[in-house]
């Protein structure tokens, strides 16, 4: 396995609008692969969004406004997350290209950290990857992918969908998806090799080598 650093993250927000709503929780898991060994570190930060949580957010996360009133502001603690993801080869999020990345980048820009916005080119969206690799699934939600891979989600259901908890779950899902991705990549490689061998054999027949 080649050396690489992968950060898998999730955000919890007051609502769905990138423009109107705010982030109140960021969680992440960093997987570092070096010299055949893997180390894992975690990041978890709650913030006061200075905005009331929507009923949907309360229902999903089981958080309440009073739990966040004494938390620091996004702009005062986001530096810790920026440091945490520094040097990552890939950043992974579920529905990340449509939600997490735009939402986070908007908050970074609003808080004066526009130069720290995440480049979508290094992002892997597990929702998009699941659609490619598991096209027969009826749903590509994180819950359904976890069930497909037989990953226990009872704690998440009971305690709420918070950012670190979801990042840990997504880590399991991502590495299961990666096995499928690697398998498909190898299959395509074998197909290319077969095509090349067929081509070489045809050329050998068409232009026989003469001796003497």
Contacts of 25 (CB under 8 A, 6+ apart): 11, 12, 44, 45, 46, 47, 61, 63, 162, 163
Residue 73 gets which letter from DSSP? P
3-class DSSP state of 26: strand
**Per-residue CA distances from 79 to 45, 82, 94 (Å):** 11, 5, 23
| Environment class of 114 (CB within 10 Å of its CB; exposed 0-12, middle 13-18, buried 19+) | exposed
Alpha carbon distance 102, 165 (integer Å): 21
Per the annotation, the verdict on 161 as an active-site residue is yes
Give buried/exposed letters for 132-162 (b at 16+ CB in 10 A, else e).
ebbeeeeebebeebbebeebebeebeeebbb
Which one from 31, 94, 148, 161 is the annotated catalytic residue?
161
- Whole-angstrom distance, CA of residue 6 vs CA of residue 19: 28
Handedness of CA 61, 66, 67, 68 (dihedral sign): positive
Residues forming a β-bridge with 25? 12, 46
**Residues annotated as catalytic (active site), given as ranges:** 161
């Amino acid at each position: 396995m080649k050396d690489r650093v992968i950060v898998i993250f999730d955000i919890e927000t007051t609502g769905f609008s990138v423009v109107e709503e705010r982030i109140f929780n960021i969680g992440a898991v960093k997987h570092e692969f070096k010299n055949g060994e893997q180390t894992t570190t975690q990041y978890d930060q709650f913030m006061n969004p200075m905005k009331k949580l929507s009923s949907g957010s309360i229902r999903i996360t089981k958080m309440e406004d009073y739990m966040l009133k004494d938390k620091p502001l996004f702009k005062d603690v986001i530096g810790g997350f920026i440091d945490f993801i520094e040097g990552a080869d890939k950043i992974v999020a579920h529905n990340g290209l449509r939600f997490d990345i735009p939402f986070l980048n908007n908050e970074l820009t609003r808080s004066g950290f526009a130069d720290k916005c995440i480049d979508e080119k290094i992002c892997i969206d597990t929702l998009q990857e699941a659609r490619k690799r598991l096209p027969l699934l009826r749903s590509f939600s994180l819950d359904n992918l976890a069930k497909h891979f037989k990953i226990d989600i009872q704690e998440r259901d009971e305690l709420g969908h918070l950012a670190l908890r979801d990042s840990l779950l997504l880590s399991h899902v991502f590495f299961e998806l990666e096995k499928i991705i690697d398998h498909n990549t190898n299959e395509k490689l074998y197909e290319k090799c077969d095509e090349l061998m067929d081509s070489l054999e045809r050329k050998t027949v068409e232009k026989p080598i003469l001796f003497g």
